[in-house]
Chains A and B, each alone.
Chain A
Amino acid sequence: MKKLFLSLFATILFSTLSIAQNRTLPSVDVKTLDGGSINITAIENKGKPIVISFWATWCKPCKKELNTIAEVYEDWQDETGVKLVAISIDNSRSMAKVAPYVNASDWDYEVYIDPNGDLKRAMGISTVPHTFLLNSKKEIVWQHKGYVDGDEDELLEQIKKLAH
């Protein structure tokens, strides 16, 4: 048992050495706001950067981050062509509130729901908000835990690096 465990770790380390490419999105299904489902690897922005932001209707800093970005989102899009994908981790307690909240808030984001945390676990997220930035090949090149006022400036700088 112990031996197996050790050799597993050794193999993981060994195979990590040969990893050269960037991190990609895991193949996990999420729910769309109209009840359908989509594999997260299918999100697309024609080679422009994508921001993935995990949030919940009960999370204050998450809503603050997404509301703040919403105010400048059009400018960001004009400047960099970025697309923001907001993934709600609301479970069946508050899932019904996601679409009304998003619509009422006037968000222009692509919004999906991860009701039992499948994508959250696959992407190694323990707390929300958690934001990822993807490059033209949909590889994760930057990530940030939490949100405090002003964090959107750093995110924009990172997006600009990719856009130019």
Chain B
Amino acid sequence: MLKKITYTFILSFLTLNSLAQNNSGEIHGDFDLNMQSYQEDEIIGAKAADEIILNNAYLNINYTKGDFAAGLRYESYLNALMDFDDNYKGNGIPFRYASYTIDGLEVTVGNYYEQVGSGLIFRSYENKGLGADNAMDGIRLKYSPLKGVYLKSFIGKSRTYFTYSDGIIRGADGEINVNEALNLKSKTRIIIGQGIVSRFQADINPKFKLPQNVAAYSTRLSIINGGWNYSGEYAIKLNDPVGSLTTEGNNYANGNALMSSLTYSKRGFGIVAEMHRVDHMEFRSERAKEKQYIINYIPTLTKQHTYTLLALYPSATQTEGEFGTQIDVFYKIKKGSLLGGKYGTKIIFNFSRINALNGGNSYLNDNREHNPMFISIKGEELYYKDINLEIYKKINTKIRATGILAKQSYNKDVLEGKTPGTYGIVESTIAIADISYKIKKGHTVRVELQELLADGGEGSWSMGLAEYTISPHWFFAVQDMYNWGNHDASKQLHYVNVNCGFLKGANRIAIGYGKKRAGIFCVGGVCKEVPSSNGFSLTISSSF
């Protein structure tokens, strides 16, 4: 019904536009196609697909005319790529919307993406590469009654695959930019915000009385003065038992999360110090245990690495409970100094450490009650630790080089959801060299050499990559990842991967062949999060 209404709505606007106006609107969009063949490889555990080829494709169309916008997304999974859930199946238009703005009021009906604050209590977003899309379907209003005052409210149901949640999600958020609102000329700028999100879902549990309305609140504050910036946000989620039929399965404790960052920067120097504490803060669109229903976002407090071996053991937020700290330092040694040389030298340092909450997350039911200490680091189980140093140097007009050294500790049991004590902590030491050499105008060769030394996990790895690019149209790349240190001699394998592509203006076409590991994959100048696979791939990306 809603679908029909939205289409009719879009349709009538478009018709009106094309008939009655000289000044027509604009239509733009983008198209993505990811095709992959799957061959069986028993050794790496890759399975062949019955269909031989799997294909995901999307087309976004946006129509805009002044303050009116409408659009839709056609999605096609025939059938979905292997790392996508089977529930992505067939074709459809799961995303369509119309919106307009008048006198500071913005009205959106249909699908929309929204975030409250940093996302601690609510974030709907999409990431095609990850197969994540929890778009809302409903109504959203945004209003700015006064300068520096921003209000928004929304209601809707949250998408999971091709269906919508049982729960109805309602939210409101207010933000005041104090300096703008009061017209202060002060050097110190203050921004405060308050959000609330609530989920309604009927209680049909025969045994327990479950809350039908579950609310979550968050308060945030930013203070900015010159190069200094403090930002903090604190969130509380009221009790939200999963609706188990056993007492032990239901946790009636409230959840909470705190994130805090302090940064300072000036020309040539920047520092960021962050901490967060998360306790029982998973918020879902309905009383389900599956991660696909999560509607909030607790940012991971570690560096998002792009080099393959640095990202081999990546960290992920334990939304049920963790305490973490992170520090980043950016420094540029001036041109002409002893260490800076002719072009200057850039140094980036990053440290992060994540550990368990004292005695685990908050817990409350008839049999058990637990409240973890606010801060406890020493003696708590380590989840993740990363110390890394990156140096970038332009050596002359032809050669640029990046070198990285890192030490990582990765709690494989916790981060991969294994039984405690199965693998323990994987300690790894990583070194990377990335050198590019300009042969002549437009022609560049780039070489990456990476080494990861580890006893645990899959043992040590080496990786080499060679890339040849001809600006502005072509790229060719070949890479090999070699798991030479695997304790199982039969798994000491090479993962070879060949890629080439053509780029022109708004179109990019790439073909590849090989075995890939999951992760952020950058080739030919574009970064994308990709799944593990074995076979041929074709990607077409186009925007208009």
Contact = CB atoms under 8 A, between A and B. Distances in A.
Between A7, A92, A115, A128, the greatest number of chain B beta carbons within 10 A of the residue's beta carbon is seen for A92
Given A16-B27, A145-B541, A36 B227 contact: no
A121 to B, nearest CB: 7
A102 B268 CA distance: 9
Interface in A111-164: 115-118, 121-130, 142-151, 153-154
Nearest to A149: B444
A91 interface: yes
A4 B241 CA distance: 43
Between B264, B269, B472, the greatest number of chain A beta carbons within 10 A of the residue's beta carbon is seen for B472
Nearest to A142: B505
B93 interface: yes
B270 interface: yes
Contacts of B17: 15
A121 B108 CA distance: 15
Contacts of B25: 15, 19
B222 A35 contact: yes
A115 B26 contact: no
Interface string B240-266: 000000000000000000000101111
A11 interface: yes
B525 A146 contact: yes
B506 A145 contact: yes
B260 to A, nearest CB: 10
A124 B63 CA distance: 12
Contacts of A145: 503, 505-508, 526, 541, 543
A150 B4 contact: no
A116 B330 contact: no
Interface string A1-38: 10011011001101110111101101100000011110
Nearest to A148: B469
B177 A36 contact: yes
A96 B30 CA distance: 29
A130 to B, nearest CB: 8
Interface in B406-464: 436, 438, 441-444, 446
A118 B520 CA distance: 22
B337 interface: no
A81 interface: no
A7 B114 CA distance: 30
B4 A1 contact: yes
B60 A121 contact: yes
Contact of A8 (B11, B191, B507): B11
Contact of A92 (B4, B118, B330, B394): B118
Contact of A12 (B27, B224, B505, B524): B27
B7 A5 contact: yes
B115 A103 contact: no
Contacts of B11: 4, 7-8, 11
B383 interface: no
Interface residues of B, number: 101
B270 A100 contact: yes
Interface stretch (B41-49, B208-216, B298-306, B492-500): B298-306
A12 B123 CA distance: 31
A91 B346 CA distance: 24
A105 interface: yes
Interface in B502-541: 503, 505-508, 520, 522, 524-528, 541
A148 B524 contact: yes
Contacts of A128: 526-527
Contacts of A12: 14, 27, 61, 63
Interface string B189-228: 1010000000000000000000000000000001010010
Given A8-B11, A103-B266, A153-B471, A19 B525 contact: no
A52 interface: no
Nearest to A15: B18
B125 interface: yes
Contacts of B236: none
Contacts of B506: 143-145
B128 interface: yes
B486 interface: no
Nearest to B177: A36
B114 A34 contact: no
B445 to A, nearest CB: 9
A79 to B, nearest CB: 18
A127 B503 contact: no
Contacts of A116: 113-115, 123, 125
B297 interface: yes
B480 interface: no
A150 B470 CA distance: 8
A97 interface: yes
B202 to A, nearest CB: 29
B274 interface: yes
Contacts of B69: 26-27, 122
B234 interface: no
Contacts of B527: 58-62, 127-128
Nearest to B522: A60
A23 B26 contact: yes
A96 B263 contact: yes
Contact of A104 (B101, B128, B268): B268
A71 to B, nearest CB: 8
A54 B63 CA distance: 21
B231 interface: yes
A7 B180 CA distance: 46
B10 interface: yes
B544 interface: yes
Interface in B22-49: 24-30, 32
Contacts of B525: 61, 129, 146-148, 151
Given A96-B274, A116-B123, A150 B507 contact: no
Interface of A: 1, 4-5, 7-8, 11-12, 14-16, 18-21, 23-24, 26-27, 34-37, 57-62, 71, 91-94, 96-97, 99-106, 115-118, 121-130, 142-151, 153-154
13 contacts: A5-B7, A8-B10, A37-B150, A58-B306, A71-B343, A100-B265, A103-B268, A117-B126, A118-B113, A129-B525, A144-B472, A148-B525, A149-B471
Given A34-B229, A124-B29, A150-B469, 11 more contacts: A11-B14, A15-B27, A27-B64, A27-B69, A96-B272, A103-B330, A104-B268, A105-B332, A116-B125, A122-B69, A148-B470
